[in-house]
Amino acid sequence: MATTTKSASTNSKTTTKTPAKRNAAKDLKDLLEDSLKDIYWAEKALVKALSKMEKNASDDKLKEAIAQHLIETEEHVSRLEECFESLGKKAQAKKCDAMQGLIEEAESIIKETEPGTVRDAGIIAASQKVEHYEIATYGTLAAFAKILEEETSLKNFLATLEEEKKCDELLTKLADTNLNSQAK
């Protein structure tokens, strides 16, 4: 029995490319600057959200971890401002749809859970989603900065990346040390 194989191009519908905005990034430096504005907004929004999470957490170790990360997040904002300066740009935030969605999800989890271990487990889950987004973003920004030989930005992105990874590890340990079991 002979079988025929059609190429993907003959099976797929013709699609048109999305046109770029007028002020779209034209090179890697533009993309770095645009991404920097995005994460700057995200970190500033996270400063507000972390305070709310800390107030709604019940476990003392979780509260302490959130409070510590709030201090680090404020430092992340300062580092990003240093990155803007090193690039000769004014610090400018551009709404980060991804972070806004993650923060809204965290707020929803808080509203939809009873105070105590169940809410704490939800706060950890929401926080880890935020950390994973930040880890991906700072890793990407570091790669861009390395290619562009932007040493100040590279140093700052890598420092923040390590703090985000440590926070994620701490959240995992908190969840694994009976918090999730207690929420069961």
**pLDDT at residue 184 is higher than 70:** no
Residue 182 has a pLDDT of 66
Q: In percent, how much of the chain has pLDDT > 90?
A: 80
3-state helix, strand, coil in the chain (%, to 5): 75, 0, 25
Residue 62 has a pLDDT of 95
125-150 pLDDT, tens digit per residue, is: 999 999 999 999 999 999 999 999 99
DSSP element (H, E) containing 87: none
Query: How many angstroms separate the CA atoms of 14 and 43, rounded?
Result: 40
Burial level of 11, CB count in 10 A (0-12/13-18/19+)?
exposed
Q: What is the pTM of this model?
A: 0.86
CB distance 146 to 92 below 8 Å: no
Residue 179 has a pLDDT of 63
Domain 26-183: assigned CATH number: 1.20.1260.10
Place 160 in a pLDDT band, splitting at 50, 70 and 90.
very high
Place 178 in a pLDDT band, splitting at 50, 70 and 90.
low
